Chain A
C-alpha cells in the first residue's frame, strides 16, 4: 500500500509536468492543425534560460522574489521565442502543403536544440536549488516541497486556463478558430492574433513545465526536449489532440502509468530513450 501511495504522488507530479507541456502541443494543433515539433525543445530551452536568469541576472540568491522572478522572466523570454518562431517558421507556410509545415517545424526543432547546445555546451548542467529541499512524511509516503509546488502550481495554471478557454470572450474566439478558421474569420475574429495568443499561452506553460523538469530531475541537457516533448506529445494524443481538457487528463494518466510501471514492473521498458543516447549527436559519426 505504501508503494502504491508513493507512486501515486510521484505519478501525479510528473503527470502535472507532462500535462503542462502537452497543452502547448494540443493548443497549437487545435488551431493550426500542425504538430509543433519545436515545442519540446522550447521546454528544454526554458530550463536553460531559467538557469541563466537565476545565476547571471539574479546572482544566485535564493528568496521568494527570485523564485517568482525566475518563473516569470523565463516564461516571458520563451513566449517571445515562441512568437518569433511562429512568425518566422510557420506563418509563411500557412497556405503551403501540410508536409512543408511539418518539415519546417522539424527544422525549427533542430535549430532550437542545437542553439541551446552552441550557447550552453553539450554537457549536462545541474539546475539550481530554487526551492529548499524539504520533505514530509505523511502516512508512510514521502512528499517533497518541490512535488507539492509542482502539483499546486500546475493545478492553478490548468484551472485558470480551463476557465479562460471556457468562460472568456478570448477563449471563445480560440475555440471558434479551432473549429473552423474561415468561419471564425467571417465572425470578425482575427485568427492571426489568436494564433499569436495560442503561442504565448502554450510556450509560457511549457516554460513553467521546463523549469519544473529542471527542479524535479536536476540534470538538464540540450537534447532533453525530444524526450519530455515526446512524453507530452503522447499525453496530448491520449487526450485527443486539439482537446484542452483531454491534454490535462492525458498528461496525468501518462504520469501515473509511468510511475506505476516504474514502481511495479521495471523502469527499463518505459524510458523512451536511454540517457546516454544523443539525438542529433554532435560527435562525429565517422571517427574511429
Chain B
C-alpha cells in the first residue's frame, strides 16, 4: 500500500513535470490552473476533511494571499517570490484571528459564519478599502516570474512554480497525517467531545487547522497572481468557496480524490469545449449522484494502518 502510494505520486509528478515538453501554451495554462486549484482544494481539505469543520469561506484566504502578493508586487515593487512568505503569513494570521471567536460553532452555524466572512471580504475588496485593493477591477500588472533557464517562456515558469508549490503541499499533507497534530485533527472530526476527553485541546487544534489551511491557500494565492498577472474580487467570492467545498466532499477528502475532483471541475470542461455551457449543470448532477451512490466521496480517505477486522462498520465508524 505504502509503496504503491509513493510510486503513484512519483509517476504523477513525473508526468506533470514532462507536460511542458508536449503541451502548447494554452494547455499549459490549463495545467497551471489545475495545479493552483489543487493546492487550494487540498488546503480546504485540512479544515473540512481532516478536522471536519464546515468551512465555506476558503476563497477568502486564497484571495488574501493573492491580494497580498499583488499589492506588494504591483504597488511596492517587491520581487514575486519575496511576497510569498507574507502571502502565507497574512492569511494564516487572519485565519487564526477569524477562527478564534467562531470556533465553538458547530456544523451549519460555522458554515453560515464563514460564508459571511467571505462576503464581507469581497465587499471590502470591491469598495477599495484604504485605496489599495483597486475596487471592482482589482489589481493589474503583477510581474510574471521567470525561473532560471526559462526566461523566454513565462507560462512554463508559472507551471513549474505551481508544480513546486503543489509538491510542498503534498509533503505538508503527508507530514500532517503522520504527525501528532494530524491524529488530533482526525479524532476531532470523529467526535470532538471524545477527543477533548482523551486530552486533546480541541480549541487549539481547530484554530491550528484554520491557520494551516489559510496559509496554504495563501501560498496558492501567490501562484494565482503570478499566473493571471491580475487579481479581481469576483475570483474569490463565495461561489468559489462553494466549488472548493464540493470538490473536497465529492473527492472524498483524500489526495487522489481531490485531484480527481479538481480535474473534473476545471480540466474536463476544457477538453469538451462544445459542452462548456453545460459544465455546472452536469457537475451539479454529478454532485447529487455521487452523494447518493457514494456518500463518502469518489475516493474515500483512509486513516492510519488500522487492520480491517478491527473496524466496526466502515472506516470512519459511520
Can you list, as one digit per residue, whether each of B117-130 has a CB less than 8 Å from chain A (1) or not (0)? 00100110011000
Q: Which B residues lie within 8 Å of A101 (CB)?
A: 291
Not counting A93-B291, A97-B296, A282-B280, a sample of 12 additional A-B residue pairs whose C-beta atoms are within 8 angstroms of each other reads: A89-B288, A97-B318, A98-B107, A102-B108, A103-B245, A107-B284, A110-B284, A111-B288, A226-B239, A274-B136, A279-B237, A282-B279
Known: A102-B54, A269-B123, A279-B239. A286 touches B29 (CB 8 A): yes
Q: Is the CB of B237 within 8 A of A96?
A: no
Report the nearest B residue to A95, measured CB to CB.
B295
A226 to B29, CA, bound (A): 30
- The 9 lowest CB-CB distance pairs between A and B, nearest first, are A107-B287, A110-B284, A111-B284, A114-B281, A279-B239, A107-B288, A107-B284, A96-B295, A100-B291
Known pairs A93-B295, A269-B127, A274-B136; A103 contacts B246 (CB<8 A) = yes
Cβ < 8 Å to A, chain B residues 232-268: 234, 237-239, 242, 245-246, 249-250, 266
CA distance A274 to B54 in the complex (A): 26
Tell whether A99 is near chain B: CB-to-CB under 8 Å: yes
Tell whether B270 is near chain A: CB-to-CB under 8 Å: yes
> Which of B107, B122, B242, B280 contacts A114 (CB under 8 A)?
B280
Instruction: Sample 26 A-B pairs with CB under 8 A, ordered by A number.
Output: A33-B108, A35-B111, A92-B292, A93-B295, A96-B291, A96-B295, A97-B296, A102-B54, A103-B245, A103-B290, A106-B242, A107-B283, A107-B284, A107-B286, A107-B287, A108-B288, A109-B284, A110-B284, A111-B281, A233-B112, A272-B119, A277-B234, A279-B239, A282-B279, A285-B266, A286-B33
Q: Which A residues touch B150, using CB under 8 A?
A: none
| Cβ–Cβ contact A110 & B287, under 8 A | yes
Report the minimal beta-carbon distance from B258 to chain A, rounded to whole angstroms. Answer: 14
Per the 8 Å Cβ criterion, residues 195-210 of B in contact with A are none
Q: Chain A residue with minimal CB distance to B26?
A: A286
CB contact list, A94-139 vs B, under 8 A: 96-104, 106-111, 113-115, 117-118
Interface of A is mostly: helix
Q: B24 CB to closest chain A CB, in angstroms? A: 12
Which residue of the partner chain, among A33, A103, A273, contacts B250 with CB atoms under 8 Å?
A: A103
CB within 8 Å of A: which B75-127 residues: 107-108, 111-112, 119, 122-123, 126-127
In the bound assembly, the distance between CA atoms of A93 and B288 in angstroms comes to: 10
Distance, CA A33 to CA B108, complexed state (A): 9
The answer to the question of B285 belonging to the interface, with a C-beta cut-off of 8 Å to chain A, is yes
Q: Which residues of B contact A193 (CB under 8 A)?
A: none
Bound CA–CA A106/B248 (angstroms): 13
Q: Decide: A107 near B285, CB < 8 A? Known: A93-B295, A100-B249, A279-B237.
A: yes
Interface status of A268 (Cβ within 8 A of chain B): yes
Chain B hits for A272, CB < 8 A: 119, 123
A107 to B279, CA, bound (A): 12
Asked if B278 is at the interface (CB within 8 A of a chain A CB), the reply is yes
* Residues of chain A contacted by B111 (CB below 8 angstroms): 35, 102
B11 at the interface (CB under 8 A from A): no
> A111 contacts B291, CB within 8 Å?
no
Q: How many A-B residue pairs have CB under 8 A?
A: 115
- How far apart sit A69 and B281, CA to CA, in the bound complex (Å)? 30
Taking a contact as CB atoms under 8 Å apart, the answer to whether A35 and B108 are in contact is yes
Task: Please indicate the chain B residues that have their CB under 8 angstroms from the CB of A271 in the complex.
Answer: 123
Q: Is A88 an interface residue (CB 8 A)?
A: yes
Known: A35-B111, A93-B292. A103 touches B278 (CB 8 A): no
User: Is the pair B126, A274 in contact by a Cβ cutoff of 8 Å?
Assistant: yes
Contact digits for A227-249, partner B, Cβ 8 Å, 1 yes 0 no: 00010010001000100000000
Contact A106 B287 (CB under 8 A): yes
Chain B contacts to A: CB under 8 angstroms: 26, 29-30, 33, 54, 107-108, 111-112, 119, 122-123, 126-127, 136, 234, 237-239, 242, 245-246, 249-250, 266, 270, 276-281, 283-288, 290-292, 295-296, 318
The CB with the most chain A CB atoms within 10 A, among B26, B108, B136, is that of B108
Closest B residue to A107 using CB positions: B287
Chain A residues with CB below 8 A from B286, complex form: 107
Within 8 Å of chain B (Cβ to Cβ): is A56? no
Give which listed residue, B119, B245, B246, B277, contacts A117 with CB less than 8 A.
Answer: B277
A280 contacts partner chain B, Cβ-Cβ < 8 Å:
yes
Near B by CB (< 8 A), chain A positions 217-266 give 226, 230, 233, 237, 241
The residue on B at minimum CB distance from A272 is B119
Contact between chains at B277 and A286 (CB < 8 Å): no
Bound Cα distance A98, B110 (Å): 13
Residue of B nearest to A111 (CB): B284
Tell me which residues across on chain A come within 8 A of B54, comparing CB atoms.
99, 102
Closest to A277 in B: B234
Q: How far is the CA of A109 from the CA of B318 in the complex (A)?
A: 27
* A269 neighbours in B (Cβ, 8 Å): 123, 127
Taken together as a complex, chains A and B put the C-alpha atoms of A258 and B112 apart, in Å, by: 20
CB neighbours (8 Å) of B279 from chain A are 114, 282
Point out the residues of chain A lying under 8 angstroms from B292, CB to CB.
89, 92-93, 104
A115 to chain B, nearest CB (A): 6
The residues of B that contact A110 with a CB separation of less than 8 Å are 280-281, 283-284, 287
